[in-house]
A = this chain, B = another copy of it.
Amino acid sequence: MSSLQEGDLILRGTRAPSRLQAARGTEKSAQGAEKPFQQVMDVSTGDPHRAGMKPVSFVRQVLAACVYPKLLDEKSLPLDARQRANTLLGVCSGRSVGSYSATAYGIPYVCKSVTEFIMRRDGGVSSNPEDIVISSGSTKTLLMVLHLMASGEGETRTGVLTPMPCPHTLPTLLNMAGLTLVPYQLLEDQGWAVELDELHRALRTTRGHCSPRAIYISNPGNPTGHVQDRKSIEEVIRFAATEGLVLLADEVYQDSVYGQGKESLSYKRVLFEMGKEYSKKVELVSFHSLSSACMGECGLRGAYMEAVNLDPAVMKYLRDAQAPSSPPVLPQLALEVMVNPPTPEDPSYKTYSQEILHSMTTLSQNAQRACEFLNDLSGIKCQPARGGIFLFPRLHLPPQMVEEAKMLGVEADVLYCQRLLEEEGVRLGAGCENGQVDPNFHIRLCVLAPSDTLDEILARLHSFHLRLLERFP
């Protein structure tokens, strides 16, 4: 497997050092000290375009023609892209992306396209436009829901069962909304699986401390790369049903399941296939986003949520929550293209499919290669990822470094990441940001990047890690 060999070469240092030296230049720090690298490579967050991944052409062609409608006649743009742009301009007031969104919860036509996507995805399970709310990013959408659930103080304060590790922005959002984070541990040795006993244990800890009202699930897992199977999803749904918890399903990376034998199954689909006992009862909010793996359009800021079984008054609140502001129009149009991509009879289908395939292949190969590379490093143990765009390897740090971190008043994983950044210009995420409070340390890296970029990052990490081991033998 060629990509793995490339990683191996780097590991043995026969090729990587020379590439590293080539990249090292004259970047100066604020203090004027010369840095041994030309630019910082940042894979601490899920921002694929920053790392060099390319946008999907069809999405950008449609948006360009929506932005500058003279391009509707521009023959160099594919016909279907121009036709789509024409259709989408038709759902903008005054045929301009410069008019306000028709409603605070999104353009009705886009909401409808979203439901059609969901129904196709879920084998025909019905979906209503009234259950969709579009916003400028899933952070925003989630925050609206969290704010809505906030109430009480002390024992009555709303608690949210939260996976450990969790998406690195989640602890901040829970805090902003005034909710209590109730941790449940994912099982690292089982590839970060969700375990029912652990959910029950976590729930018991809330007695006398807070009032648990929801459980947050990230599937495919951010930052773990775990992908739940049907049985695991059913267990969580039954747990939520029995305990009367709202299910908050972060399914932003639903388009990026690549583990062998793994499939992308939505909570909505499983819920509805479990029968009316569950599908009429369990309150579920599912989040999806333009920042998904294959789109990677983080900077556009577009996301939707689908909410089922919520009280109509609650739903009305969510649909009005963004008023008197309204979400930007362009990302809504991009969302429409994301959920309604070209089909085999469309001129853009071939290019579109090739681009998506390229992106998925890069992701899948990178995830495997980086995992094997990391596991070859002494003191690092990485669970293989089956989906999503992150790896979350465990660091067994030298005791002296842990001591040093204590003296400096920082977590040892933070110190590791700081030193890596200073010495090699690579920015990874410290595991403590993902809520980890166990005695083990972790780092977080996004592996959705061009393979040569990943090579470079791994090579720099390799150099740094070996020096660290030499320093603290």
Contacts and interface: CB of A to CB of B under 8 A. Distances in A.
A389 interface: no
Interface stretch (A59-67, A108-116, A275-283): A59-67
A300 interface: yes
A186 interface: no
A297 B70 CA distance: 17
B328 A299 contact: yes
A300 B97 contact: yes
A299 B50 contact: no
A256 to B, nearest CB: 16
A32 interface: no
Nearest to A65: B64
Given A49-B98, A172-B324, A325-B140, A64 B71 contact: yes
A55 interface: yes
Q: Give the secondary structure class of A's interface.
A: loop
Contact of A94 (B52, B323, B327): B52
B328 A98 contact: no
Contact of A99 (B76, B94, B299): B299
A85 B60 CA distance: 15
Given A61-B68, A67-B63, A47 B300 contact: no
Contact of A64 (B64, B298, B300): B64
Nearest 5 pairs of A and B residues by beta carbon:
A49-B96, A299-B329, A64-B68, A50-B93, A301-B328
A136 interface: yes
Interface string A297-332: 111110000000000000000000001111111110
A301 B324 contact: no
A272 interface: no
B301 A99 contact: no
Contact of A325 (B61, B100, B139, B324): B139
Contacts of A330: 299-300, 328, 330
Contacts of A328: 136, 299-301, 328, 330-331
A60 B50 contact: no
A51 interface: yes
Contacts of A52: 94
Contacts of A70: 76
B49 A60 contact: no
A255 to B, nearest CB: 15
A139 B169 CA distance: 24
Interface string A27-50: 000000000000000000101111
Contacts of A172: 323-324
Interface in A285-299: 295-299
Given A47-B99, A99-B49, A324-B169, A92 B60 contact: no
Interface in A73-98: 74, 76, 92-94, 96-98
Interface in A225-252: none
A430 to B, nearest CB: 15
A263 to B, nearest CB: 27
A137 interface: yes
Nearest to A143: B325
A173 interface: yes
A101 interface: yes
- Max chain B Cβ within 10 angstroms of own Cβ: one of A64, A139, A172, A300: A64
13 contacts: A50-B100, A55-B98, A63-B67, A70-B76, A74-B74, A96-B299, A97-B299, A99-B298, A99-B299, A139-B324, A169-B324, A172-B323, A299-B330
A104 B67 CA distance: 25
Nearest to A81: B68
Contact of A98 (B64, B99, B143, B300): B300
Contacts of A325: 136-137, 139-140, 143, 301
